[in-house]
Amino acid sequence: MLYKLSLKNIKKSIKDYAIYFFTLILGVSIFYIFNALESQTVMMQVSSNTQDIIKLMNNILSGVSVFVSFILGFLIIYASRFLIKRRKKEFGIYLTLGMSKQKISKILLLETLFIGLISLLIGLTLGTFLSQFMSLLVANMFEADLTEFAFIFSKSAAIKTLIYFSIIFIIVMIFNTINISKCKLIDLIHGFKKNETIKLKNPLFCTIIFIISVIILGIAYYLVTAGIQLLSEASYIFIPILMGIIGTLLLFFSISGLLIRVFTKLKNIYYKGLNSFIIKQISSKINTTVISMSIISIMLFVTICVLSSAISLKNSITANLTTLVPVDIEIKKERVYNKEDYLNSGHSIEEYEDTQIGIKESLEKLDYNIDKNLKDIFEYDIYRTEEITVEKTLGDYYLKALEGYPYLAYKTGETLIKLSDYNTLAKRYGFEELTLKKDEYVLVSNFDSWSLIRDEALKLNTTIKLNGKEYKPKYNVHKDGFIHISSNHTNEGIFVLPDEALENLLAYKSILIADYNGDTKEEKKEIENFLLKLNNHPYLEYTTLDVITKISIYEASTGLGAMATFIGLYLGIIFLISSAAILALKELTESSDNKERYKMLRKIGADEKLIKKALFKQIGIFFTFPLLIAIIHSIFGIIFCNYILETFGNEKLLISIIMTAAVLIFIYGGYFLITYLCSKNIIKD
């Protein structure tokens, strides 16, 4: 009997609460998809570096899955609470007919068991098929060879999904049993008539709390944007985060009282149609769900920031590879210009003598055939001197910079380069070639934060002094550019000086750039692998060559972009689904509880069109309000994320925001539409 009753109840629940089952199935499938990546990436033919990156990505996703399981567990328990509330009258009738609470608990246990089995079966089936498309996406991101592609079912991901969700459903069973055991018969019978206790808030008190919340949020916004320099230590970031959480809670606490206060004063709006009914309903909901609405808003904020930042990072890295890595290989070798200090630090005379020869000579000592493997070779030097430090190049702006950015290395020597060498690089890299008078210099930079500091000093016409001679800036702003190939914008500042200004200085570092003597990717990879095999050469025991290649940068950058994208998608979609599902379940439960109120509206003359319009507005406001607060938070959150990730560039930020908006509209908007259609069916006369 209990078995049949449980199945009957599930059929009824599926019809009335399709969103709950849809969310469970979606949660299971997404959990499986991201945990199945480890099995799917095994079949991909990629380089050893890429394999290491993929392994790291899978380890991170595995750790993230633990956090995701807590989010999904909270969602399922939260949903179960509303489902039980909806069925209180049903359970009351069971007790009236003589059924014990133990048997009701058994019914719930069986229902949860069946729901869990159905959700896992459908979710795993759906996840298995969708994961094949995910494997193609992974292969595309890592540019893997998929000649051995085959349909894969990940046993490890399936087992992990079964274990995690089994634990969640067991907790739900325990929760439901405790919940039923505490219920009284009178509460169960009349539970559908009983609204949550609503305490009217003093409008003046709400206004004060609202102002306090706005001030707290304003300070938090300032700290992550204009006042970012105040967060000089990583731990300080928790200050604006905590202020944001407190400000959001206070905002939702105060807003319900303010809604009634404001709209009752606007009589033309308040008494139009069913607006008075809608406003009171919304105010009541926000008043009784302050914590849950705050959590939803914060989750949506995290979703927007994580998705937009992850997508922006991936797009920026991809764009950077074409502009910031214009040559196949860059080799750096440090020069030593203080022989005595170098020998006193434990180095041999052979090591010192090696630092005085060029990179080409070093490659020849490695038995590396330069002419056979490399073409378009250019070797040049860069310089540093204690006469020109960051502090001195900032001039009169130094004290102001120190106040705003106290953690910068102001005593560090600046990087200097000859005009002729820079122009050769500029021609090769596609920059503007420069001309200088004998007493001029130009500053080149592409790191936005540093460029702003540099420009302030240049506007003051700050001069620099070298070997007793002063040099003035040719321009009052920096020129965009770089000399080192990299996957991001890291050039804090390079000073281009006339050749004769640096002739008497000893070089700080030698750099060689070149392209490979190969046309295809395979040929270039073969040349690079041959160079890497020289790591065991005896000559390298006392010399150091820092080799950076386009292929290695490309593989590392692609891996970083892929990791950011998958982790961002994983967390973002889970947070978004959880937020939308909680709102949807809450609204569906409210619609069920308010059936009598809608019947009353019909009795006083409201037609179906007006009632449906009121329902649409009510659900729309309920969904829009936490999203609106999240969007406001996100404006400042994205600015902060952009500041943190600025070395990668922000050229593709707008595209990432548009893509994030599309995901929001599709998932969040979809939940809103389904909620409205289901609610309309529930309140139907």
Contact assessment for residue 458 and residue 475, using Cβ atoms and an 8 Å cutoff: yes
Please determine, for residue 639, whether its predicted confidence score (pLDDT) is greater than 80: yes
Query: Euclidean distance between the first and final Cα of the chain, in Å?
Result: 32
Tens digits of residue pLDDT in 105-129? 777 777 777 777 888 888 888 888 8
Say how far apart CA 279 and CA 256 lie, in whole Å. Answer: 9
CA distance 676 to 582: 14
Least confident of 156-170, 173-187, 206-220: 173-187
Indicate the SS3 state at residue 381.
Answer: strand
Q: Which two tokens stand for residue 473?
A: 């800036």
pLDDT in tens, 44-69: 555 666 667 777 777 787 788 888 88
What are the tokens at 375?
Answer: 């073409």
> Element (H or E) spanning 444, and its range?
strand 440-445
Query: Are 451 and 478 contacting, i.e. CB atoms less than 8 angstroms apart?
Result: yes
Which residues does 682 contact at the CB level (< 8 Å), separation at least 6?
16, 588, 591, 592, 595
For the cut 70, the answer to whether the pLDDT of residue 151 exceeds it is: no
Neighbours of 481 (CB within 10 A): 21
Between 48-86 and 155-181, two packed helices, what is the crossing angle to 10 degrees? 20
CA 613 vs CA 28, 277, 607, 619, 624: distances in Å = 35, 12, 10, 10, 16
Which one-letter DSSP state was computed for residue 413? B
Q: What is the pLDDT of residues 270-306, one digit of tens each?
A: 667 676 777 777 766 666 677 778 888 888 888 888 8
Separate counts of helices (H) and strands (E) for the chain:
27, 10
- pLDDT > 90 fraction of the chain, expressed in percent and rounded: 13
The answer to whether 485 and 553 are in contact (CB under 8 A) is: yes
Supply the pLDDT for residue 80. Answer: 72
Q: Do 127 and 29 touch, CB atoms closer than 8 A?
A: yes
For residues 555-566, average pLDDT: 75
151-171 average pLDDT score: 82
Q: Which of 407-421, 563-577, 634-648 has the lowest mean pLDDT?
A: 634-648
For the chain, give the percent of residues with pLDDT over 70. Answer: 79
> What's the number of CA atoms in the CB half-sphere (13 Å) around residue 132?
10
Nearest of 205, 491, 573 to residue 320 by alpha carbon: 491
Mean pLDDT, the chain, integer: 79
Q: In sequence order, what are the beta bridge partners of 443?
A: 495
Dihedral over Cα of 442, 447, 451, 453: its sign: negative
Cα radius of gyration (the chain): 33
Name beta bridge partners: 473.
441
CA distance readout (Å), 467 to 380, 387, 415, 440: 22, 8, 16, 14
Strands 509-516 and 329-334: antiparallel
- Token representation of residue 594: 């308010």
CA distances from 65 to 62, 126, 570 (A): 5, 18, 9
Domain range list for the chain: 1-194, 329-551
- Residue 189: pLDDT over 70: no
Q: Are 480 and 446 in contact (CB under 8 A)?
A: yes
Residue 310, pLDDT above cutoff 70: yes
d(CA 256, CA 659): 33
Distance CA 19, CA 86 (A): 15
Residue 148, pLDDT > 70, answer no
Residue 554 has pLDDT above 90, yes or no: no
**Distance separating alpha carbons of residues 434 and 120, to the nearest angstrom:** 66
Q: What is the mean pLDDT of residues 325-344?
A: 82
Q: What is the pLDDT of residue 655?
A: 77
Range list of β-strands (E), 469-508? 469-473, 479-480, 494-497
Q: Helices marked H in 432-549 — which ranges? A: 448-459, 499-502, 521-532
- pLDDT tens digits for range 483-504: 888 877 888 899 999 999 998 8
CA distance 215 to 231: 19
**Integer angstrom CA distances of residue 444 from 102, 282, 500:** 77, 56, 19
- Residue 399 confidence (pLDDT) above 60: yes
How high is the pLDDT of residue 504? 81
Q: Determine the Cα–Cα distance for residues 676 and 673; give it in Å rounded to an integer.
A: 5
Cβ–Cβ < 8 Å for 523, 515: no
Q: How far is CA 577 from the centre of its chain?
A: 16
Tens digit of each residue's pLDDT (9 = 90 or more) over 415-450? 999 999 999 999 998 888 999 999 999 999 988 888
